[in-house]
């Protein structure tokens, strides 16, 4: 039976020759992920169900990233619970203050995910790792608890949508613009419980950082997962980080897809998702009447070194506009150090920005940049729902680092080419 990339991975992990869309399976897991918000719930379920051990101390990753460093007593208690759990079961991949990072940037950086892996995480943006040719998807904390104990997860095999990428990105256009364009095209439920599979000669125009951003936001189209065909760019990234064996899966030539779209990357412009849904997209050059109070550059979507570089190149020798607060958050300690080494931190501070330790903080309205009543933010984050980053009357415009940095300087949303 012909299968997609995702179906091949799931079949292999379920010990089956083939699977088909809609089939219920039990699959072996290569990694189970949790953070400081979702892991405490999973720990409680783990204990209430009488589990006494984890399936593999090396295949669980607990990343303290949402409210870390702790913003209040409750956040401190949650992290303490995670810390004690990790210690009691000698969990190898536990990341806390000083060596943590935003989970979906940290795990690829650490080489914890490889092509062909089957990964679950108690965070909806776990689909990020599809950029590396893995099947990865978000689950609830109960499924995380079961995964930690048994090393297995159950799935309904998804059907798929194929995105054939052609052409090359124009200057100042990135993977963020591509995925916003696609979500604007198919809608926030356009890929509901389906796999978004990306392939085509246009892949060579997309860096790993572009792909990680795009796979991250597959969930914003309702997808079960996003996954990229493994190529030389993938293997070069993996080769520097992954020391274990892995398997590369490719879709069969006659694999069935619900729909197929051809996306010409050369035709994509800087794109912004307007309030209050990621599908509400417009071109940045059409939004010059929108004046942000705050700009956030970071998150699991756009906090990587290429994102920091893009922002620094725009901010160098400039200053953020009066009345604009600009918060920049490198996604991991390693990225933070590289920013220091390259002089980006000096550029950011000289431009009037504040630079934070790695954290998810403002993305989910946690801390480090909460919006007040009626305030407007331009953010490189992945969601712009009502009240997502603060007050219910605040508004969020999702954009690339290039658009966000340019808008911080201009004091209004602009295409980077207009600055």
pLDDT one-digit tens code per residue, 34-86: 999 999 999 999 999 999 999 999 999 999 999 999 999 999 999 999 999 99
Place 1 in a pLDDT band, splitting at 50, 70 and 90. confident
% of residues, the chain, pLDDT over 70:
100
* Per-residue model confidence (pLDDT) at position 199: 97
Q: Residue 162 pLDDT > 90, yes or no? A: yes
Q: How far is CA 338 from CA 135, 167, 206, in A?
A: 29, 31, 21
Mean pLDDT confidence for 102-120 = 97
* Per-residue model confidence (pLDDT) at position 240: 84
Dist. CA 363–CA 340, nearest whole Å = 23
Q: Residue 413 pLDDT > 90, yes or no? A: yes
Place 419 in a pLDDT band, splitting at 50, 70 and 90. confident
% of residues, the chain, pLDDT over 90:
99
Q: Residue 128 pLDDT > 90, yes or no? A: yes
**Domains of the chain by start residue, with CATH:** 11-264 (3.30.499.10), 272-418 (3.30.499.10)
Place 182 in a pLDDT band, splitting at 50, 70 and 90. very high
* Per-residue model confidence (pLDDT) at position 135: 98
Mean pLDDT confidence for 3-7 = 98
Average predicted confidence (pLDDT) for the chain: 97
> Under 8 Å CB-to-CB from 198, ≥6 apart: which residues?
163, 165, 211, 214, 226, 227, 228, 229
Q: Residue 292 pLDDT > 90, yes or no? A: yes
pLDDT one-digit tens code per residue, 304-320: 999 999 999 999 999 99
> Under 8 Å CB-to-CB from 21, ≥6 apart: which residues?
7, 157, 158, 159, 160, 256
Mean pLDDT confidence for 130-144 = 97
Length of the chain: 419
Mean pLDDT confidence for 351-355 = 98
pTM (2 decimals)? 0.95
| C-beta separation of 275 from 397 below 8 A | yes
């Amino acid at each position: 039976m012909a299968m997609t990339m995702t179906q091949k991975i799931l079949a292999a992990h379920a010990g089956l020759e083939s699977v088909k869309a809609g089939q219920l399976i039990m699959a072996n897991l290569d990694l189970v992920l949790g953070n400081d918000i979702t892991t405490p719930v999973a720990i409680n379920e783990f204990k209430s169900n009488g589990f006494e051990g984890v399936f593999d101390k090396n295949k669980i990753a607990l990343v303290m990233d949402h409210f870390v460093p702790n913003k209040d007593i409750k956040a401190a208690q949650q992290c303490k619970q995670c810390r004690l759990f990790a210690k009691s079961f000698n969990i190898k991949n536990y990341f806390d203050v000083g060596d943590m990072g935003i989970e979906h940037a940290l795990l690829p950086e650490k080489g914890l995910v490889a092509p062909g892996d089957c990964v679950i995480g108690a965070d909806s943006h776990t689909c990020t790792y599809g950029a590396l040719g893995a099947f990865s998807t978000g689950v609830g904390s109960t499924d995380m608890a079961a995964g930690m104990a048994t090393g297995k997860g159950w799935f309904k095999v998804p059907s798929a949508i194929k995105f054939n990428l052609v052409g090359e990105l124009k200057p100042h256009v990135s993977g963020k613009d591509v995925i916003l364009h696609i979500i604007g095209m198919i809608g926030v439920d356009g890929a509901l419980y389906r796999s978004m599979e990306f392939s085509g000669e246009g892949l060579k125009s997309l860096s790993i950082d572009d792909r990680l951003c795009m796979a991250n936001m597959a969930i914003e189209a309702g997808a079960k997962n996003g996954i990229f065909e493994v190529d030389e760019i993938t293997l070069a990234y993996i080769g520097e980080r992954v020391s274990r064996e892995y398997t590369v899966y490719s879709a069969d030539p006659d694999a069935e897809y619900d729909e197929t779209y051809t996306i010409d990357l050369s035709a994509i412009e800087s794109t912004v998702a307007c309030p209050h849904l990621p599908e509400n997209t417009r071109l940045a050059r059409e939004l010059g009447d929108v004046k942000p109070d705050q700009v956030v550059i970071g998150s699991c979507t756009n906090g990587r070194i290429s994102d920091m570089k893009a922002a620094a190149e725009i901010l160098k020798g400039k200053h953020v506009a009066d009345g604009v607060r600009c918060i920049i958050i490198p996604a991991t300690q390693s990225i933070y150090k590289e920013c220091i080494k390259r002089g980006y931190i000096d550029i950011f501070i000289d431009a009037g920005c504040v630079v934070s330790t790695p954290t998810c903080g403002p993305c989910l309205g946690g801390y480090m940049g909460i919006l007040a009543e009626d305030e407007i933010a331009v953010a490189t984050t992945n969601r712009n729902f009502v009240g997502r980053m603060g007050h219910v009357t605040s508004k969020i415009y999702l954009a690339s680092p290039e658009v966000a940095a340019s808008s911080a300087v201009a004091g209004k949303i602009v295409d980077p080419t207009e600055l």
